[in-house]
Amino acid sequence: MDALINRIRGIARDLLREGKVDVVIGFEEGTIPFHSRPCFVRSPDEADRLIWNSFCENNLATYVVKRNERMGIVAKGCDTRALLELIKERQVIRDQIYIIGVPCEGMIDRVRVEAELRNRSIQTVEVREGTFLIMGKDFEKELEIKEFLYPSCQVCTRKNPVIYDELAGEEVEESVGETYPDIESFEGFSDEKRWQYFSEEMSRCIRCYACRNACPLCYCTECFVDASNPQWIGKSIDESDTALFHIMRAFHLAGRCVDCGACERACPLGIDIRKLNRKLSKDVLALFNYKAGISLDEVAPLATYRPDDSEAFILEP
């Protein structure tokens, strides 16, 4: 890990020194255990702030939109997939960003760790080879990283950057093939059961919009929920309005969502936001043989029309 961090710092330092970029967006140490956080490095001597570990959970692609600077960006697999979509959607120019690709073994789910430890206060955490050691006032616990990865990391098929200018570390082994076991079992439930699950999840939503704001592909200048003239949606936490927000957001991300999981990690209430997005990803893959954030050349299915496009979902919904 140290070699990787040194490599990231070295690349960032060179980029800034040579004036190739104005800023490097990466991760720095957070203020509490289990948190690394986004940082913006603007001079070569600040490059040592940059780090890499199993807590770099934010999708940094969310910061490149609507910026005029030339940016270096530290990007794991899912960050590069989002960048690729943003390039395709012309939200950022390819030449405007220098992608420092970082192969990623997945990020640790701090919420599940907290639940596992119940009420004990975590003082420090140390990541080791395959495990992490948590220390508190009067306890120590070593846990397997693999067992505590975020749900999106568990099903990730693009651990290595899909697009980059420089790779900061050795490529890691990918899991094979796209599978949706979670969605397939969910699809097997009755309409009532699915609706009940969805309603219960949505009932916890407080409309803080952390999911939307953490999402690299949610970049609308004005989100439909913020429009006031006309106002499309009620602003209370009425169940139908909350559900409408999530359903509309999911549809808007169909064929665009790269399943980075940033929405879920940002949600303070731990709502299963990805369920809808993954269902739509699965459908888009089945209907259009398209997966978001993989290739710059493939045209996004919802941005084009082909006479032989599948119509099954219209004719037999």
Using CB under 8 A, count the residues that bind another protein. Answer: 42
Three-class DSSP category at 28: strand
| DSSP for 223-285, written as a single string | -TTT--TT--S--S--HHHHHHHHHHHHHHTTTT-----HHHHH-TT----HHHHHHHHHHHH
Report in angstroms how near the CB of residue 118 gets to another protein at its nearest: 8
Based on the shown chain and the rule CB under 8 A, indicate whether residue 237 belongs to the binding site for another protein.
yes
Contact 71, 96 (CB under 8 A): yes
Based on the shown chain and the rule CB under 8 A, indicate whether residue 185 belongs to the binding site for another protein.
no
Report in angstroms how near the CB of residue 35 gets to another protein at its nearest: 4
d(CA 116, CA 110): 10
Which part of the chain contacts another protein (CB under 8 A), choosing from 10-18, 147-155, 261-269, 288-296? 261-269
Based on the shown chain and the rule CB under 8 A, indicate whether residue 38 belongs to the binding site for another protein.
yes
Based on the shown chain and the rule CB under 8 A, indicate whether residue 40 belongs to the binding site for another protein.
yes
Residue 201 makes CB contacts below 8 A (sequence gap 6+) with: 271, 272, 273, 275
What's the per-residue H, E or C state across 47-67? HHHEECCCCCCCCHHHHCCCC
Residue 62 vs 160, nearer CB to another protein: 62
Using the rule CB under 8 A, which residue among 184, 199, 270, 295 binds another protein?
270
d(CA 268, CA 89): 29
Residue 111 vs 244, nearer CB to another protein: 111
The H-or-E segment that residue 127 falls in is: strand 122-127
Report in angstroms how near the CB of residue 152 gets to another protein at its nearest: 15
Based on the shown chain and the rule CB under 8 A, indicate whether residue 114 belongs to the binding site for another protein.
yes
Q: Which residues bind another protein (CB under 8 A)?
A: 30-33, 35-40, 58, 62-63, 111-112, 114-115, 119, 121-122, 137, 204, 206-210, 212-214, 226, 228, 234-238, 265-266, 268-270
